[in-house]
Amino acid sequence: MSAIRESRPSLHRVPRASSAWRWALLAAHAAVAVAWWQLGWRFGLPLLVATHLAFLWGALRPRSAMYGPVLSHLPIDDRRVWLTIDDGPSDDTRALLDLLDAHGAKATFFLVGERAAARPDLVREIVARGHGIGNHSHGHPQARFWSLGPARMRREITQCQDTLRAITGIAPRWFRAVVGHANPFVSPLLRECGLARVAWDARAYDAVRSNPAAVVARLERDLSPGAIVLLHEGARHGRNVEMIALLLQRLHALGYATVLPEELEDGA
C-alpha cells in the first residue's frame, strides 16, 4: 500500500509562489514595444491585441493552468468518476443526498458561502453522509468573477472558506472557480487557504438546459475512467434532481462507480 501511495502523484496541488505569468506579460509587452518601434503600428497593434487575448484566454478557459495548477481529470484506469455538484446548498440538496445514498454513490458539493450560511443544516448533512465539500466562492459573482481585483477576490474565496469551516469544523481542500474562470489574483489566495483548483472534463450545461435525457446523453459522451463530472443543483428550471437520477442510472448501466479524490490519495 505504501508503494502505491509513493508512486501516485499528488492530486491536491496548491499553487506555489510564482511570478511566471508576470514575467511572461512583461516579455510579451516588451516584444510588442520592439515590434511597434521597428515595424510600426500596423504590426505592433495586432501583436498587442493578440497578446492580451492570450492572457484573457488563460483566464476564461477552465482547464488553463496559466494562473496556477488545475485538476481536470483523475489519473485512474478503472471505471470510476468524480461527481461534483455546484451552487448549493439549495432546495435540491436533501433529495440529492437521498438519491446518492440509494445508489451508493459519493459526490463533492462545491458550495456557495452565503447560501451555506443561510442553510448550515444542509451543509452539515452533506458531511455527515460521507460526501465532500468544496469552496465555490462566497457570493457566486457569475458575470464578473474573471475580472475581480485582489480585494474582492480575497473576500470571495476566504469568506467562503471561513464560513464552511465554521459550519463543519473542516476546512475545504478543493476550489471550483465560478464558471471555471480564474485570474492572477486567484492562486495567491488558494495558496493561503490550502486550496487546490478543480475544473472538469464532462459537462452538459445542466444549469441552463432543462431536458434531462439530452443532458445525460451529452455527459455520457464525455465519460471515461477518471472523468470529473460537472453537475449543478438549484437551477431555475427545477430539474437537476431528475437529471442526476437519470445520470446515476446510466452510470450503473455502463458499469461506472463513483470515487472521491481523497480515496485515491489514501491509496484506494
Positions annotated as catalytic residues are 86, 232
Q: Grid coordinates representing 70?
A: 488545475
Residue bearing cell 491585441: 49
Radius of gyration of the chain (CA): 20
Residue 105, helix vs strand vs coil: coil
Q: Which residues of 71-102 are buried (b: 16+ CB within 10 A; e: fewer)?
A: bbbbebeebbbbbbbbbbbbebbbbbbebbee
Asked, as a colleague might, if the bond just before 89 is cis with ω within 30 of 0, I would say yes
Continuous H helices in the chain: 2-7, 20-39, 41-60, 93-102, 113-118, 120-128, 150-168, 186-193, 212-221, 240-253, 261-265
- State in Å, rounded, how far the first CA of the chain is from the last one: 9
Torsion of CA 133, 137, 139, 141, to 10 degrees: -130
